[in-house]
Structure 1
Amino acid sequence: GYENLMKLNSCLYLREDGSLPHVTPEEVERHAEGLICLSGGPDGPIGRLLRAGQRAPAEALLRRLAAAFPDRLYVELQRHPGENGLPEAERLSERGHVEMAYAMGLPLVATNDVYFPDSKMYEAHDALLCIAEGAYVDQQEERRRLTPQHYFKSPQEMVTLFADLPEAVENTVEIAKRCAFMAYRRDPILPRFADDEVEELRRQAQEGLKARLAVIPHAAPVEDYEKRLDFELGIIESMGFPGYFLIVADFIKWAKDHDIPVGPGRGSGAGSLVAYALTITDLDPLRYSLLFERFLNPERVSMPDFDIDFCMDRREEVIRYVQEKYGHDKVGQIITFGALLSKAAVRDIGRVLQMPYGQVDRLSKMIPVEGVKPVSIEKALAEEPRLREEARNEEVVDRLLTYGQQVEGLLRNASTHAAGVVIGDRPLDELVPLYRDPRSDMPATQFNMKWVEQAGLVKFDFLGLKTLTVIQNAVDLIKKTGRHLHIAADGAQLYDPPEGAVDEIGAIPLDDEKTYKLYARAKTVAVFQVESSGMMDALKRMRPTCIEDIVALVALYRPGPMENIPTYCEVKNGKKERASVHPLIDHILEETQGIIVYQEQVMQIAQEMAGYSLGGADLLRRAMGKKIAEEMAKERPKFEKGATENGVSPEKAREVFDLLEKFANYGFNKSHAAAYAVVSYQTAWLKANHPVEFMAGVMNCDIHLTDKLAVYFEEVRKGLNLPWVPPCVNRSQASFDVVEGELVYALGALKNVGLDAMRLITEARRPDGRETPFVTIFDFARRVDLKRVGKRSLEMLARAGAFDVLDPNRRRIFESLDALVAYSAAIHEQRASAQVSLFGEAGDDLPEPRLAHVPDWLPAERLGEEFKAVGFYLSGHPLDDYMPGLKRNGVMTLEEVTRRAEDAPVLAKLAGVVAGRQERKSARGNRFAFAQLSDPTGAYEVTLFSDTLETAREHLETGSKVVVTVEATMEAEQLKLLGRSVAPADVAVTDGGAAPGLRVFVEAPGAVGSVAEVLETAAKAAARSARGPVVFCLMDPDLPGEVELEAGRDFALNPQIKSALRSLDGVMAVEEF
């Protein structure tokens, strides 16, 4: 019965036709054995037929079910009375159900269609439905199907409700008695990998260790490696896990054989020498003093759990391999359920109550956060007086918080575990019910991770780590230039690679001086694990000189242990003496400057000082870390007794136990820290030794994330001062590339273009496999099918200057695109219809279209158009010349504000050029806006509520240069900016000092004299104005570009002068610089 129930449950969700979950009568009949069937109430298949007046089909279906479930079919009745008694649909359905049951001799059963635990939760549940449906609570009458009666009723309430049909209630007890199944816990089930898995594991491990020792520096005598291997194998065999190791080793070997990057390790698995020998991990556990018992404890039987990092782009290939090897029906993902936490509950409920966005946002921010999760609404009300005050003052807020408390913690959605995959020895639906996530073609278990294990399934974690993709991208770009990893761009040899490992990132030396200098200077933008401002500060203080420092920093940089970073740095750099805990254990703490940093150190101290086995020490660590009082009470006397027997005073034994207890809660898994420190080092090494290829690899991984590209490009241009090439149809690829040591900007990184469309351009550039640059814009139109590329993509290319190599007048190309697309389409249509002469190319006879005769965009316009295409300014920024004056007046860059906000909320001034503004009206009629701006370090968005918006609106026109006072906070690693005031940037720049210069664009030389007159008049009338330079720019469509002439550097300048100049005939524009 249980197996058939699982089968039917799986049938509900595994359909591929996109239909709603359901089972067919045929499926019910096929899996009926061992199950009791309830016919369904008024909304069931029989009830719907009865309500529609289709009595004969209803009887036929009931007879069919009776045949499938002999003596196991009950006719189901439901009553949900309202003020006027039973709804009409329930009355019609019940009458038919009862009549057919009596006619066929079938028993009745009374049920309630339950949606919430008690009737008080009806309104909150309705709000929950609105969240799911995108509806509003006030639309209730049109959409509500449920009533306050759809709650979990007590036995007495059901007896009263069905007083006229007592047998229907009595049968609920009979059904309960007949259901006597209890799911049992299965031992782990795995497919059999080999006939003799014990022997096979020994063979592979011994051969693998021999191969490893042939190429690595030995951290200990060979005998120590062999002894450790034999010890681990003995434990693995005794616990019955050889098959697990072989399965993991097999799919990792397959990935490496197919050039899919695999991480060096993750989690405690890196502490296993067997795993290292099998190439599951790439960290020598003896080199890093990692403990096997932290991974697999012989004194506490539990499944081993390798977390494996794969390149994010190719992780699915490894999973497909596993599916093919073991069978698609035996491999699946694991379901996860998303709960509605307090902040999300407030935001969601506020939306369905149609409350103003700003008010809901403010209420949500009042809920404190502990660690990474917000506290409950109940706790927030107890701790935050402002929240209580809001609830007292406004009925809708009280309603919001009441509903929020009732729904928080409920499951909001189902999805699949980010990495977990289970592999069975039989079809999974024989072990667990299955579900299919609409976004995946692989089934998932309906049991979450905890219950999957109890069903006997073993989880394998296939994680996608973007950093591995970054590393592989960089290595591929280095190889593309014809170099190897150990050869620098200038030809210098960086290290001697081991034989056969020329291009393996795992073969780089861990003592590279340039890499540690990069760490010490905190030049770690895009370097794994150490990108945050806090990490950068720690690196500057620490000045790492060895990989152990990076391992320690990865472990220390967390709440709690972070307070020990200053001590670590001071001891390391000789500013402070290393403290001695006790001579028996000081050597254990030597590499971490006398501080307990790792969980493994807790275990080693218990072993060395108190005589614990490492397995027993792991149990002590777990009890301390989880603060299990009962276990701690047993362990303390045991530790003190062992320590005193080892010559330690009772007082010192108690002191050390207290110390361990404190740090066990904070201690980090050293195996994981070491593995991730190695990955961090690999990225730092690439940045230090192959910076252009590394940054190109980084940017390719985030090619569609404009915000990140802005940060990385700033690092390329200013942080590293690397040579780069702007987007160019003759030099760029669809992705970021490196050519002759220069980073070439990707066409595919532009906004609103597709990588496939950009590949059409790069492929047309190589008609016979060799690069053949486009000669003119018409040559481009003939060789590339512009209709397939799309006008929108071509507009972005023109805005970004990708056609500058063919025509420097961007505006001319932009405004000629309709003609160029039509010209290209005509040529390609001729080719497609084979209208090609014997002696010429198709389209040779088509006249080239006339291009628009217009002057180029003005410099500020040019930058604005470039911004639309790139998402930030490539060739310059409108605020570049403003920033020195603005900074003198306390204005910060976006980069600076972001770093400060990571530590604590900050009130700051930000300069920006307005890219756009969207105004909205709240349900209460208050206006608010989102304004998009940028400064030389990146783009950002500011939220402005009605009080600020009223005074700021006039300054927030697109293209305006402004200074915004903002309240900056970090939420889920996202910068949130709330605008408090807005002022023009020129006011902030001058502020009584030097004025910004003026660039005057004129159409003809004759206008220069008029400008000079205005400037002379202004000098007399405004003697006290700030002074600055003036430059004339002559614009002529027949010239290749503008001609600049400096008029002088000491003119009296003010806003009135700009207005006067703009009004002159022949003056096209006046800009500040």
Structure 2
Amino acid sequence: MYLNCRTYFSLRYGTYSTEELVTTAADHGIHVLALTNINCTCDSWDFVNSCQQKDIRPVVGVEIRNEDTLLYILLAKNNKGFASINEFLSFYLQHKKNFPEQASTWFQNSGDVYIIYPFDRKAAGDLLPDEYTGILASELNKLFGTDWKKYEHKLVVRQPVTFQNKQYFNLHRLLRAIHKNTLLSKLPVETQAAPDETFVSPATLLEQFRQFPAIVTNTYKLLDACRIEMDFKVDKNKKCFSATAEDDRVLLEKLATEGLMARYGKKNKAAQDRMQKELKIINDLGFNSYFLINWDMIRYAQSRGFYYVGRGSGANSIVAYCLRITDVDPIELNLYFERFLNPERTSPPDFDIDFSWTDRDDIMDYIFKRYGRKHVALLGSYTTFQHDATIMELGKVFGLPVEEIKGLQRTVQPTDKIQRLILQYGRLMKNFPNNISIHPCGMLVTEKPIYEYAALFMPPKGFATTQMDMFVAENIGINKFDVLSQRGLGHIKESLRLIKANRSIDVNIHDFHNFRHNTAIKDQIRKAETIGCFYIESPAMRQLLKKLRCDDYITLVAASSIIRPGVAQSGMMREYITRFHNRDKIVYLHPLFEAHLSETFGVMVFQEDVIKIAHYFAGLSLGEADILRRAMSGKYRSGNKFKHVKDKYLANCRELGHTDELAHEVWRQMESFAGYSFNKAHSASFAVESYMSLYLKTFFPREFMVAVINNFGGFYSTELYFIELMKAGGIIHAPCINNSEQYTSISGNEVYTGFVHIRALQENSMQQILEERKAGGAFLHLQDFIERTQIGLEQLNILVSVGAFRFTGKTKKQLLWEANFLQKKNKSHIPVSESLFVEKPVEFSLPVLTDNAVDDLYDQKEILGFTLSNPFSMVDEDTDNYIPAREIGNHLHQVITVLVYFIASKHVQTKNKDIMFFGTFIDKDLDWVDTVHFPDAARNYPLHSGGFYKLTGRVVEDFGVYSIEARKTVKVGFKKRSYDTLK
């Protein structure tokens, strides 16, 4: 009788989790249950799985609504009906159309879907064979006085299930208010569910319908006719890349063998043996087509000249290396293939393939077209309600001012009844799905049409996306292809273009072997001159490179992993650095650590190290060890699985004679790494790309920094990349209407700032300038520009103020005067394109109007967001009175004062829940100053914003890296503007 049940995947409506809904039904003794979420089938697979565990027969369907209007409920008679429902949903969601008032227009010839209309929505006499009317207990009185017996065979019981009890009904109302973006007190009744939409017991329902036994019988019959079979073990991926599975096996071996010859030559027996071992496992586990589809994707990228990096656990595979899916040599780095794929691994493998952000959509479009739109989709995901967002949303619903809401977010200490309610209901709705979104990179390619597994929607990106997340896809046996977007590759691609255009040099960016042994690049890493370089430019990473005196590939691979948050916070990063510099004093936790982790000085640096220790120290199989690693990293949603692997680990340790103290310490170290560290292949892939960036930055620094600027991606703001370009010898010019392009350009050492950095310049204005200049040549003067472009006065004034007309030789004040006059004159003037003769420019007789250098800097800062010269030219302080960054090391343990310009800061929470932060600044010579602000200093002298600071603190040193422990931080002002206009 329960044919209209919802979970919290009826977004901002239902309050049951999927598992809780099924458990509650089982507690009521219910044997058949239908899931009908509003306009989605998101959790259908989880629902079926939960029902199977509780011995409940599942029925899947959907409740169709246009806004708040219930149109009908669809129930799948069978798997074909489920696919039809998904296809129906997908069509209307993707085309963003209202659902039809009558479902029969879509399903009339189906025979696989039941349609249940709410009472009074469709006349009983008009109902088709598979159509019914659902009636609520509260609507039964409407039958009296009607000739309902004529159509009683078309009536079924509808008892919606939306929330658990009165408290959750309140939560439902709060969710509706959030959805409607309205105060709770103003929430319309028609947008809410009825208060009785709870799990009424079967006995109660039967009592309510005791006078209408035929309706109850109809309901049982309808549900009994529904049979859904979902096999979670059947492989649902595209089975063959070529014609047959055997053809796939032969093709993969052929391609791998050819690649092996190119990578290793003819005589590398170890490589040949490993390749054959991997090919057998790949074939036995049915992953030939998975490798070939990834290879096909790479082949297409190569044909289009797209740059890519293959990483993730797939880089552990020599077959992937030979297919050039990755550029990481697994033999050189002793990478475990079992980390990627092993006979005991139940979860699918994955390749993470990075493309430039400019190219990824093209790759995705190719996959859709290559394998068919009915078989390809992006993978969905769900954003969930978490603390800050929940408090903010509930605060708005209750009508609290924003400042009060922010205070509650920080303190979590309620001061009145309303705040207590916000925290109470915030706890209830934590982790509820909030919106259906798109997975950052996952794509699915299935053998059968995707509708057999999920409905699709159309996000702004423009590619069909499943109402299914990665956990469900993995659970039901669909492997995702990870096609990622990365700005770092955009830097590289743009750099190569600029180097070719500016210096006529073709760079072989894949010459990794020479990069890693180049002495200039080694020096660049050792000094941490890495701004703009992929993954190694952040303040923390730069400090780590200095502390390790890193100048080689292997150390950089390790640094890529130990910089991760959990590793640093556990103290293991510091332990690694200490052991790195004191190798003769290492005390290993256990002899097995020395045997298997000597390369990393007994510290678990990579995810493979966790697998090694779990295998050798705790006696788990390699497959079990990988399950443990995945459980530690949160890859399993079930807490039971995590508990199971921990119990087995501890039991094995006891059997092997390890003390509980030792076993728990090893577990602590594994846990700190497994959750945050990279697998070794992943780190190695990152390091390869870092070397590409390092090569470009070392030998072509100006082109490289222009490329970084043009890709708008990196750890720092655009301002710092212009500063770095300045340090590299770039002669930077403000935007110019005759020399600038949309993006920043370079010719020789001359750099013209792109129009795109003028924040208030409209896109159409920019395009008008570029198109007119291309068609009619350089602009001759201000009047010529106005007549040819017809740009409005406000946009024109911005261009003048930023200095875009300085080629005229006139001051900005003079040009602003002329611009205003000429604009008025131009309104009645014949456009130059329509004039028969070119008129002479109007000559003005004006007083001498001079510009001021400080005013120019203010104009740049206001219009661009930063200056195009050393920012210290604006500070209202004598820079010579302060110790420069290069001399900080001469004042170790002393308290000094420096004058610095803010670049970045990172806030962290201490064990005592206090806030402290790390600061990154530059001085007048554009050298770095790193600072530590402990809780007292952070509290008493917060960094309010960017700008200049007088910073007083004690100089400290850590592994040769100097920083200042801040004690006092005082904001310093800018020089005042000059408003003199006449001389």
TM-score, shorter chain, exceeding 0.5? yes
8 Å contact kept, 1:201–1:246: yes
Residue 482 (structure 2) aligns with: 461
Q: Which moved more, 1:137-146 or 1:319-328?
A: 137-146
CA pair 483-580 structure 1, distance change in 2 beyond 3 A: farther
Q: Which runs of 5+ in 1 are unaligned?
A: 42-46, 49-57, 81-89, 368-386, 487-501, 644-649, 837-841, 912-934, 939-955, 966-980, 990-995, 1004-1034, 1037-1073
Say which SS state the counterpart of residue 298 (structure 1) adopts. coil
2:905 aligned partner, one-letter code? T
Residue 53 (structure 2) aligns with: none
CA pair 825-331 structure 1, distance change in 2 beyond 3 A: farther
1:812: Cα distance to partner? Answer: 3.2
Residue 781 (structure 2) aligns with: 776
> What is the rounded CA distance, in whole Å, between the counterparts of 2:502 and 2:144 in structure 1?
78
1:881: Cα distance to partner? Answer: 3.2
Residue 785 (structure 1) aligns with: 789
CA pair 398-806 structure 1, distance change in 2 beyond 3 A: same
1:65: Cα distance to partner? Answer: 2.8
Residue 303 (structure 1) aligns with: 348
8 Å contact kept, 2:455–2:467: yes
> What is the rounded CA distance, in whole Å, between the counterparts of 2:970 and 2:729 in structure 1?
33
> What is the rounded CA distance, in whole Å, between the counterparts of 1:664 and 1:399 in structure 2?
36
CA pair 960-292 structure 1, distance change in 2 beyond 3 A: closer
1:350: Cα distance to partner? Answer: 0.3
Deviations 1:499-544 (A, max 9, x none): xxx3546565212333333333333333322333322322221110
1:662 aligns with 2:662: no
Residue 561 (structure 1) aligns with: 567
1:338: Cα distance to partner? Answer: 1.5
**How many residues are treated as equivalent by the alignment?**
842
Residue 18 (structure 2) aligns with: none
8 Å contact kept, 1:873–1:936: no
8 Å contact kept, 2:594–2:601: no
Residue 380 (structure 2) aligns with: 335
Deviations 1:108-157 (A, max 9, x none): 22323444332322333222222222211222358755443344433344
1:33: Cα distance to partner? Answer: 1.1
Say which SS state the counterpart of residue 38 (structure 1) adopts. strand
Residue of 113, 116, 135 corresponding to 1:38: 116
8 Å contact kept, 1:778–1:820: yes
Residue of 147, 150, 155 corresponding to 1:103: 150
8 Å contact kept, 1:811–1:854: no
1:546: Cα distance to partner? Answer: 0.7
Residue 229 (structure 1) aligns with: 275
2:548 aligned partner, one-letter code? M
Say which SS state the counterpart of residue 435 (structure 2) adopts. strand
Normalising by structure 2, we get a TM-score of 0.76
Q: Which moved more, 1:544-553 or 1:510-519?
A: 510-519
Residue of 405, 416, 428 corresponding to 2:450: 428
1:847: Cα distance to partner? Answer: 6.0
CA pair 453-614 structure 1, distance change in 2 beyond 3 A: closer
1:655: Cα distance to partner? Answer: 5.8
8 Å contact kept, 2:949–2:969: yes
The RMSD of aligned alpha carbons is: 4.3
Highest RCO, 1 vs 2 (Cα 8 Å, sep ≥ 6): 2
CA pair 204-826 structure 1, distance change in 2 beyond 3 A: farther
8 Å contact kept, 1:346–1:400: yes
Residue 30 (structure 2) aligns with: none
CA pair 729-63 structure 1, distance change in 2 beyond 3 A: same
> What is the rounded CA distance, in whole Å, between the counterparts of 1:893 and 1:97 in structure 2?
84
Residue of 799, 807, 815 corresponding to 1:805: 807
Deviations 1:979-1017 (A, max 9, x none): xx999967xx9xxxxxx9x998767xxxxxxxxxxxxxx
8 Å contact kept, 1:524–1:530: yes
Q: Computing the radius of gyration over CA atoms, which structure comes out larger, 1 or 2? A: 1
Say which SS state the counterpart of residue 334 (structure 1) adopts. strand
> What is the rounded CA distance, in whole Å, between the counterparts of 1:741 and 1:506 in structure 2?
27
Residue 64 (structure 2) aligns with: none
> What is the rounded CA distance, in whole Å, between the counterparts of 2:618 and 2:175 in structure 1?
56
Residue of 705, 708, 711 corresponding to 2:717: 708
Residue 225 (structure 2) aligns with: 178
Residue 855 (structure 1) aligns with: 849
8 Å contact kept, 2:901–2:949: no
Residue 1055 (structure 1) aligns with: none
Residue 734 (structure 1) aligns with: 742
Deviations 1:852-896 (A, max 9, x none): 878356555443333221012335657423374998997975626
1:820: Cα distance to partner? Answer: 4.6
1:451 aligns with 2:472: yes
- Written as runs of structure 1 = structure 2, the 5 A alignment for 1:581-660 is 586=594, 588-604=596-612, 618=626, 628=642, 630-631=644-645, 659=666
2:483 aligned partner, one-letter code? F
1:396 aligns with 2:444: no
> What is the rounded CA distance, in whole Å, between the counterparts of 2:882 and 2:729 in structure 1?
22
Residue 1057 (structure 1) aligns with: none
Say which SS state the counterpart of residue 39 (structure 1) adopts. strand
1:407 aligned partner, one-letter code? M
CA pair 900-295 structure 1, distance change in 2 beyond 3 A: closer
Residue of 399, 403, 409 corresponding to 1:358: 403
1:17: Cα distance to partner? Answer: 5.0
8 Å contact kept, 2:260–2:322: yes
Residue 865 (structure 1) aligns with: 859
Say which SS state the counterpart of residue 794 (structure 1) adopts. helix
8 Å contact kept, 2:152–2:214: no
> What is the rounded CA distance, in whole Å, between the counterparts of 1:817 and 1:936 in structure 2?
41
1:750: Cα distance to partner? Answer: 1.2
CA pair 108-65 structure 1, distance change in 2 beyond 3 A: closer
8 Å contact kept, 2:950–2:970: yes
Q: Which moved more, 1:470-479 or 1:166-175?
A: 166-175
CA pair 883-745 structure 1, distance change in 2 beyond 3 A: farther
1:451: Cα distance to partner? Answer: 2.7
1:560: Cα distance to partner? Answer: 4.1
1:140 aligns with 2:192: no
1:815: Cα distance to partner? Answer: 4.5
Residue 193 (structure 1) aligns with: 241
CA pair 881-97 structure 1, distance change in 2 beyond 3 A: farther
8 Å contact kept, 2:902–2:949: no
> What is the rounded CA distance, in whole Å, between the counterparts of 2:865 and 2:928 in structure 1?
12
Percent identity between the two aligned chains: 25
1:740 aligned partner, one-letter code? G
Deviations 1:438-482 (A, max 9, x none): 414332222322333455533211111111111111121111123
Say which SS state the counterpart of residue 328 (structure 1) adopts. coil
Deviations 1:1022-1056 (A, max 9, x none): xxxxxxxxxxxxx43xxxxxxxxxxxxxxxxxxxx
8 Å contact kept, 2:313–2:340: yes
CA pair 477-161 structure 1, distance change in 2 beyond 3 A: same
Residue of 263, 277, 284 corresponding to 1:238: 284
8 Å contact kept, 1:5–1:31: no
> What is the rounded CA distance, in whole Å, between the counterparts of 2:133 and 2:193 in structure 1?
22
CA pair 885-741 structure 1, distance change in 2 beyond 3 A: closer
Residue 1024 (structure 1) aligns with: none
8 Å contact kept, 1:38–1:74: yes
Deviations 1:358-390 (A, max 9, x none): 1110111235xxxxxxxxxxxxxxxxxxx1xx2
Say which SS state the counterpart of residue 400 (structure 1) adopts. helix
Residue 74 (structure 2) aligns with: none
> What is the rounded CA distance, in whole Å, between the counterparts of 2:145 and 2:840 in structure 1?
82
> What is the rounded CA distance, in whole Å, between the counterparts of 2:972 and 2:950 in structure 1?
5
Residue of 795, 798, 810 corresponding to 1:796: 798
Residue of 245, 258, 262 corresponding to 2:304: 258
1:103: Cα distance to partner? Answer: 2.4
8 Å contact kept, 1:12–1:22: no
- Written as runs of structure 1 = structure 2, the 5 A alignment for 1:376-415 is 387=413, 390=414, 393-415=415-437
2:736 aligned partner, one-letter code? C
Residue 880 (structure 1) aligns with: 875
1:177: Cα distance to partner? Answer: 3.2
Residue 107 (structure 2) aligns with: 29
Normalising by structure 1, we get a TM-score of 0.70
8 Å contact kept, 2:395–2:422: yes
> What is the rounded CA distance, in whole Å, between the counterparts of 2:625 and 2:927 in structure 1?
54
Residue 393 (structure 2) aligns with: 348
8 Å contact kept, 2:875–2:972: no
> What is the rounded CA distance, in whole Å, between the counterparts of 1:344 and 1:456 in structure 2?
33
1:397: Cα distance to partner? Answer: 0.9
